Amino acid sequence: MAKKILVADDDKVVLDVISRLLKANNYDIIEAFSGMRVVSLASNEKPDLILLDNFMPSGTGFSIMDKLKKSPETSEIPVIIITGSSSKQMHDLALELGAVDFIGKPFDMQVMLNKIKEALGETKKMEKLLHIIATPRGEDSRTLKVSQAFIENLQKKFTKCSIDELNVAVEPLPPLTVKVVSGKYVLLSGKELSQEQKKAWRDIERHIERFLLADAYLLSLPMWNFSIPYTLKHYLDVILQPKYLFRYTPSGPEGLVKNKKMVVVTSRGGDYSDAMRSADFQEPYLRFVFGFVGITDITFINAQPMDALGLQIQAERIEEAKSIARKTADSF
């Protein structure tokens, strides 16, 4: 059954635009022109969601929302505030009063639709993307130009998604000392770490926790000597630990990271899509190692060749990769 949305705005043109967009997306629409109508319509019609303009005659959106939240008949209906104000104070107040989100004017239709779907629980959970970067080149990085295009569209689709950025080429990683490595063998034997070993493992566990907290992953890396940069390998040696990311069972190893997607953006000096494919040790290695811990839904976006055929081809291939990255985010 189609979900019912109550749209409240005193501006007829705005109301019309929103209604048409939502009807085209198979929602049932109830329209309200005045604040007083919102409260009575919400009580009688029990919509699944209310879109409420912040400035309506007969009460601002906030005072109407206050009434909705105080009435037991309407208090559970999610409300999204529509506002022309970009003030953070205003947005914080809307959330404090019980709004689930706000939509800024002028509208980006796609963002509005995505926010509505999120409020109705129609999109999957995507609150945190862990972006693991393995190039030290910052603004000069070709890889990061492509990743940025992915992130921009992902945040339009999942409007509450935050990006946790970890640059393993810049941020120091814990060394795999003898104490750390012997802890790994303790875990492999099925025992618990001692207090002493736990101390040595503090930073390792911190990285594992950060990795597991993410709903999805984006990896950005250049090809270095036909494979991954050593800093990324170091990171993998830190986080790939038994009991946390995988375990051995009588029927073989089992990955413990379930139902998480990954996008890997790479850039390469040469082109490994054809004759040189067998020299690409990045993609097969990363597919295997992440598959081992349970991440099997992996999309590769490779910008190549970046150095071998000059600047014109480099620019073209970056644009092509950006376009694939945007589409990948849209369907993520």
Residues that bind ligand FMN (CB under 6 A): 135, 137, 141-144, 222-226, 267-270, 306-307
CB 305, min distance to ligand FMN, A: 7
CB 211, min distance to ligand FMN, A: 22
How far is it, in rounded angstroms, from Cα 285 to Cα 267?
Answer: 16
Between 99 and 318, CB nearer to ligand FMN: 318
∠ CA 84-85-87, nearest 5°, is 160
Between 20 and 137, CB nearer to ligand FMN: 137
Beta strand segments in 134-273, E: 162-167, 216-222, 246-249, 252-255, 261-267
Sign of CA pseudo-dihedral 194, 199, 200, 206 = positive
Between 74 and 267, CB nearer to ligand FMN: 267
How far is it, in rounded angstroms, from Cα 151 to Cα 163?
Answer: 8
Between 178 and 311, CB nearer to ligand FMN: 311
How far is it, in rounded angstroms, from Cα 281 to Cα 293?
Answer: 19
Nearest 5°: phi and psi at 256? -105, 0
Between 115 and 317, CB nearer to ligand FMN: 317
Between 19 and 328, CB nearer to ligand FMN: 328
Could you tell me how many helices (H) and strands (E) the chain has, helices first? Answer: 12, 12
Q: Are 244 and 311 in contact (CB under 8 A)?
A: no
Beta strand segments in 244-309, E: 246-249, 252-255, 261-267, 297-303
